[in-house]
Amino acid sequence: MENLVEIRGLGIKAQTDSGRMIDIIRNVDLDIPAGEIVALIGESGSGKTTLALSIMGYLRPGCRFGGGTISIAGQNIMALSEKQRASLRGTEIAYVPQSAAAAFNPALRIMDQVIEVTAIHRLMSPEEARQRAIVLFRALSLPSPETIGDRYPHQVSGGQLQRLAAAMALISDPKLVIFDEPTTALDVTTQIEVLRAFKDVMRLSGASGVYVSHDLAVVAQIADRIVVLKDGQVQEEGRKADILTAARHPYTRELLAAFTPTPAAGAKADADTPRKGYILEVENIRAGYGARDENGEPRIIAVDSVTLKLKAGQNLGIIGESGCGKSTLARVISGILPPFSGSIQFDGREIAAAAADRQREELRKLQIVFQHADTALNPLKPVGEILGRPLTFYHRMNGKERDDRIDQLLDLVHLPKSIRYRLPSELSGGQKQRINFARALAADPVLILCDEITSALDTVVAAAIVDLLKELQKELSLSYLFISHDISTVRSICDEIVVMYEGQKVDQFPAQALGDESNHQYTRLLNASVPRLDPDWLDNLDISGFAAMGR
C-alpha cells in the first residue's frame, strides 16, 4: 500500500530552561500507509506528541527541527513556508487534542468553532458546513445533533466535547487525522462511547490516522500498526497483532506486563495475623460545597450519607468516576472540609470535624497525600526542608536528629540522600510523588489517605509507587485509604473496595470478589469498561445491560 506520510531521519531539538539544546526526537523513520491508523505509544516525555505535531509542520515554542524530512503525499512539509503549512492544517491534516475542554475557546459557540476550518480555508458556505457538521454529530452519536452546536463549550460534558473535537477535525475531509491522547482525560465508561464513535467515523471516512496514547489497551482497539517510542527514538514498530503477542523490545514487554492481572491484595491479608479493631469508622457523612441553607446543608451535596470502616493494618480502596465524591470524602476525613452531619471515629475515639479543632496527636496519626505532587510541594523549598517541617512540628526534632531522620525517610522511599538539597522542580514526576509520600511518613502516621496518588504518573512509574506502598505497609504497619479511578491499581493494593457513584456508596466487597456476579451493576459496568489488550474487546463489548445506570 502507498504511504501517505513518510518521515525520514527526523530530529527535533528543544531548548531547556538553562538554554541548552537537547534532542527530544532522534533519527525517527515512520511510515503511515493510506487508510491505516498508526499508534504512537510511550510514556510522558517520550516525544510522542512532539512527533505527532511535527507531522503538521508545527513545533511548540522552544523546539526546532534538527534535520530529516517529513513528506505528506510526496510533499516535504519542512521545505514549505509557514503560510503554505497553514494551508495544509485543517484541510489535509487535522488534529484532535488531548483535552477538548481546553482546546475549545470558552467564548465562542461550539458550531462556530467546528466549522471554523471551512471559513479559514474558504472550503464551503457556512450553511453547507453547518449541515455537514450536523451529519458528523449524528455519526458520532452526539445527543440532539441539530442544536448541540448552538451551545457553549461549558454547557456540554467532557465526553461530548471530545467527540465534538473529532467533528471539528473531520469537517474538511482530511487525509490524515492526528488523535493526541483523546481519551486520557475521560472516565472509563465515557471512554468506551468516545472510542466507538472515533472508530466508526474513521472507518467511514477512510482517512489515515495517528493515534497518540500511553495506554496499550486503548491502542489495541483502534490502531492497525503500533510504534513504540522512548526517549525520542523508535524502539519497536509493527502490526498490532505482532506487537501485542510477540513484542521484542524490553520496554514494550514492560508495558504489556502492566496488563497481566495482579493478585488481589485481600488474599494475603487474610493470611496475616488477626487484626485488632477498626482504625477508622466513618458514619453517615454528608458534605458538600456552596451556600448553606437554614439547616446548614450546602447547596451542592458531594458526599451523601457515606458509612465505611477500615480495619487497622488493612487497606480500603475507594473507586468511582470523576465527580463521584471520592476526593471530597478524603477531604472530609482529613478535616479540610468539615461535614455538616455524620461522625468520624479514628483510632477508637471520635475526632473533631475540622482539622483546626483536632489535637496535634490526631493530626499526626492521620496524614493525607494529594494527587499532584507539583502543587502539593512548595516549589521554593528544597526537599530537606519539605521533609524537615513535619519532623519539627510533630516531633520537635532539630539539628542532627532531624537530619538523620530526613536521610532515613529518603531511604524509605528509595531516593538517594543527595536529593535533599534539590528543589521539587529538579525532580521527575515519580521522585516528586515519593517526596510527597515521605512527607506524610515523617509524621509517623498510622493511617494515610492516598488521593489519586498514582493517577498523574506513567504506568511503569505508578506500578513502582504501588510496590513502595506495599513494602512500607509491611515495615511500618500502616493502613491506607486508597482513592483512585483506576480499578486495577486499587485491586492490587486493597483488601476491601468501596464503589461510589454520585456521592453515594453503591457497593462494597472484598478485593478478590471484584468481577463476581454479586457485584452491584455499576461496579460491573466499571469493571467491564476497563480496556483489555484483546483487539476485539471493544467490538464485542456489550454494556447495554448496564444502560439503566442512569447516564
Partner 1 sequence: MNKLAFSLVLGKIGIALVTLMIVSFAVFFATAFLPGDVTEILLGQSATPEAVAGLRHAMNLDQPAIFRFFLWIGGLIQGDLGVSYANNMPVADLIGSRFANSMKLAAATTLFAVPIALTTGILAAMFEGSLFDRMVTVTSITLISVPEFLVATIAVLVFAVYLKWLPAIVTVSEVRSFGEVLRVYAMPVIVLTFVISAQMIRMTRAAVIGTLKTSYVEMALLKGASRCRMVLRHALPNALGPIVNAVALSLSYLVGGVIIVETIFNYPGIAKLMVDAVATRDLPLVQSCAMIFCVAYLLLITLADIISIIANPRLR
Q: Which residues sit at the interface with partner 1, rule CB under 8 A?
A: 53, 56, 58, 60, 86-91, 94-95, 97, 99, 102-108, 116-117, 120-121, 152, 154, 168
Considering the complex, what minimum distance in angstroms separates the CB of residue 462 from partner 1?
25
Considering the complex, what minimum distance in angstroms separates the CB of residue 453 from partner 1?
26
What secondary structure does DSSP assign to 231-295, as a single string? TTEEEEEEEHHHHHHS--SHHHHHHHHTTSPPPPTHHHHHHSPPP-SEEEEEEEEEEEEEEE-TT
CA-wise closest residue to 111 among 146, 154, 158: 146
Based on CB atoms, which residue is closest to partner 1, 84 or 284? 84
Based on CB atoms, which residue is closest to partner 1, 65 or 393? 65
Q: How many CB atoms lie within 10 A of CB 107?
A: 7
Angle at 467 between CA 464 and CA 469, to 5 degrees: 115
What is residue 446's DSSP assignment? S
Based on CB atoms, which residue is closest to partner 1, 95 or 251? 95
Based on CB atoms, which residue is closest to partner 1, 93 or 387? 93
Considering the complex, what minimum distance in angstroms separates the CB of residue 337 from partner 1?
24
**Cβ–Cβ under 8 Å, residues 408 and 417:** no
Q: How many CB atoms lie within 10 A of CB 150?
A: 12
- Specify the DSSP element, H or E, that contains 211: strand 208-213
DSSP bridge partners of 499: 319, 507
Cα–Cα distance for residue pair 36/239, rounded to 1 Å: 11
Considering the complex, what minimum distance in angstroms separates the CB of residue 160 from partner 1?
17
Q: Residue ranges of the alpha helices (H) in 45-81? A: 48-54
Based on CB atoms, which residue is closest to partner 1, 121 or 196? 121
Based on CB atoms, which residue is closest to partner 1, 137 or 251? 137
Considering the complex, what minimum distance in angstroms separates the CB of residue 109 from partner 1?
8
Based on CB atoms, which residue is closest to partner 1, 168 or 227? 168
Considering the complex, what minimum distance in angstroms separates the CB of residue 520 from partner 1?
35
Considering the complex, what minimum distance in angstroms separates the CB of residue 45 from partner 1?
19
Where are the extended beta strands (E) located within 152-207?
Answer: 176-180
- Specify the DSSP element, H or E, that contains 112: helix 110-114
